[in-house]
């Protein structure tokens, strides 16, 4: 059994379908044939019994027509009737009440010896005599002058021949059905699994060459066609993820390489001149510490992005009061930028939104700091709130240089900068907006950007409001 199981497991999918399909059709045909043979056998045996029943009925009608006074002569005269109803192969015997055989009608080849058996009523039984199946019909003859029995022996030769013919025919047709069904199943299975085979080849090619290979979608949109579509979509997503990962690694390497080179250069300067020149030592150490802080911020932001990438859903109990969170965030920002003006334009509506308060504060700090960094020191930054039906909106407006229209779709990508040189002057790593977008995606919130060159930028986050019963 183990060997058979191992053999089956090593078979290809096409051969498994062929064997399974052919065997199913063959077994179904055999089951149908068995049911048909049994039904036909029952019908034929009933026809044979009806034939015997008909002969006994004819004899009964003949004797009854003679009235109650049937004589032995009448019985002998019935021989002519028996010869008329006699069928080839049958044997008809007439006995008196003592079991003495009065006469027999049969052909020369029919020599079936059956012992006498008296009956009280008409009986038909199935028996085997001399390796031959027969039907034996017996009926009593009663009158005032004569009592006896008539016996009809009906061989089931025709019935057995027909039954054997049906069995042989079913066996031949079953083998033919097995062969035909196997061929059809083999051809159809090859057609059905061709997309799967192509899928396997594409996977192997993808393993060697990359994610660019796309499969042709089958015309028939069944489960296999759906599998091909899923594969193509997966390949597109993998290609996109691969490109983003490669870009991310390149950008991260570039971002880390620059401060490391600066630190290396100043350490070399300290090694050469700083030992004897306190001013060189102090300047180089100060710049190195700044670059180390930049690396720490970059690593921290990368860890935040990695964490948000692993998140699979929102916290079920994550609720926040946006006005309270805003005040807390703006107080922290004002401590860092004491000379800058932050204009608050809050709506009077007090509500609760579906987001963790710490995440909301982090998002607000990122947006407000960006607005402060990329707008002149003399210009204020405005923070507005608005309850818009089931959505609570928080807008951060600056009066900076703005963002060109072609750059807006990319500003949430990691390490993306509109003006790289200007961004580096402000100490940015190009990860802040990516972190904000990731956190908002966790809560199915939106962020929109409106910008006009030389006039400023407005970034608006739209947070889902908690139902009224939770606002109490």
Which domains, from first to last, does the chain contain? Answer: 12-164 (3.30.450.20), 223-309 (1.10.287.130), 313-470 (3.30.565.10)
Among residues 464, 351, 456, the alpha carbon closest in space to that of 401 is found at 456
Among residues 303, 373, 393, the alpha carbon closest in space to that of 333 is found at 373
Burial classification of residue 217, based on how many CB atoms lie within 10 Å of its CB (0-12 exposed, 13-18 middle, 19 or more buried): middle
CA torsion, ordered 401, 404, 410, 413, to nearest 10 deg: -20
Contact 429, 414 (CB under 8 A): no
> 92 to each of 125, 160, 304, how far by Cα in Å?
15, 21, 106
What is the per-residue pLDDT for 213? 58
Query: Position of tokens 């607005």?
Result: 371
Mean pLDDT, consecutive 10-residue stretches, the chain (472 aa), reads 70 74 81 89 88 82 71 71 69 84 72 79 85 86 80 85 88 84 78 69 66 56 62 74 69 68 79 73 80 74 62 64 91 87 89 88 89 90 92 93 86 70 52 83 89 90 78 47
Dist CA 373 CA 256 (whole Å): 22
Among residues 104, 81, 95, 102, the alpha carbon closest in space to that of 147 is found at 95
What is the per-residue pLDDT for 419? 60
Around Cβ 367, how many Cβ atoms within 10 Å? 24
What letter would DSSP give residue 355?
S
- Where would I find the beta strands (DSSP E) of 97-143? 101-106, 123-129, 132-142
Quick one: the chain helix, strand, coil %, rounded to 5?
60, 15, 25
Dist CA 362 CA 231 (whole Å): 38
- Whether the model clears a pTM of 0.85, i.e. scores above it, the answer is no
CB neighbour list of residue 103: distance below 8 Å, 6 or more residues apart: 76, 79, 93, 94
Dist CA 135 CA 123 (whole Å): 10
Dist CA 371 CA 315 (whole Å): 29
What is the per-residue pLDDT for 469? 40
Contact 461, 446 (CB under 8 A): yes
At residue 470, φ and ψ (nearest 5 deg) are -90, -10
Burial classification of residue 154, based on how many CB atoms lie within 10 Å of its CB (0-12 exposed, 13-18 middle, 19 or more buried): buried
Dist CA 65 CA 59 (whole Å): 10
What letter would DSSP give residue 206?
H
Dist CA 285 CA 266 (whole Å): 8
What is the per-residue pLDDT for 234? 75
Dist CA 261 CA 259 (whole Å): 5
Which structure tokens are listed for 416? 């993306």
* b/e per residue 310-328 (b: at least 16 CB within 10 A): eeeebeeebebbbbebbee
């Amino acid at each position: 059994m183990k060997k058979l199981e191992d053999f089956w497991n090593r078979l290809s999918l096409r051969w498994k379908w062929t064997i399974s399909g052919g065997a199913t059709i063959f077994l179904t045909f055999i089951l149908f044939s068995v049911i048909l043979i049994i039904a036909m056998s029952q019908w034929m045996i009933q026809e044979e019994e009806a034939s015997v029943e008909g002969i006994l009925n004819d004899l009964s009608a003949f004797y009854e027509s003679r009235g109650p006074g049937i004589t032995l002569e009448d019985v002998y005269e019935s021989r002519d009737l028996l010869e008329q109803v006699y069928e080839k192969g049958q044997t008809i015997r007439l006995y008196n009440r003592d079991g003495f055989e009065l006469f027999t009608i049969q052909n020369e080849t029919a020599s079936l010896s059956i012992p006498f058996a008296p009956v009280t009523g008409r009986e038909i039984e199935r028996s085997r005599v001399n390796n031959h199946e027969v039907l034996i019909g017996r009926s009593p003859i009663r009158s005032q002058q004569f009592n006896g029995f008539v016996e009809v022996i009906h061989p089931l030769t025709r019935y057995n021949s027909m039954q054997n013919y049906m069995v042989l025919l079913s066996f031949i047709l079953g083998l033919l059905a097995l062969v035909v069904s196997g061929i059809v199943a083999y051809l159809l299975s090859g057609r059905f699994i061709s997309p799967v085979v192509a899928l396997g080849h594409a996977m192997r090619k993808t393993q060697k060459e990359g994610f660019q290979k796309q499969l042709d979608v089958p015309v028939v949109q069944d489960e296999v066609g759906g599998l091909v579509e899923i594969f193509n979509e997966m390949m597109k997503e993998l290609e996109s993820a691969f490109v983003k990962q490669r870009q991310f690694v390149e950008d991260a390497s570039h971002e880390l390489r620059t401060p490391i080179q600066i630190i290396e250069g100043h350490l070399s300067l300290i090694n050469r001149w700083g030992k004897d020149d306190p001013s060189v030592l102090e300047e180089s150490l100060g710049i190195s510490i700044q670059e180390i802080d930049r690396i720490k911020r970059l690593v921290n932001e990368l860890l935040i992005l990695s964490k948000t990438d692993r998140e699979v859903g929102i916290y079920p109990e994550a609720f926040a009061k946006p006005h309270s969170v805003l005040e807390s965030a703006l107080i922290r920002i004002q401590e860092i930028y004491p000379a800058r003006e932050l204009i608050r334009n809050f709506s009077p509506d007090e509500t609760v939104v579906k987001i963790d308060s710490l995440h909301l504060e982090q998002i607000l700090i990122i947006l407000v700091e960006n607005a402060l960094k990329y707008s002149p020191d003399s210009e204020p930054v405005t923070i507005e709130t608005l309850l818009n039906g089931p959505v609570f909106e928080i807008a951060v407006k600056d009066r900076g240089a703005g963002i060109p229209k072609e750059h807006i779709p990319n500003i949430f990508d990691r390490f993306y900068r509109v003006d790289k040189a200007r961004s580096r002057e402000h100490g940015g790593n190009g990860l802040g907006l990516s972190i904000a977008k990731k956190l908002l995606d966790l809560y199915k919130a939106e962020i929109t950007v409106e910008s006009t060159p030389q006039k400023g930028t407005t970034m608006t986050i739209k947070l889902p409001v908690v139902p009224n019963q939770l606002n109490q």
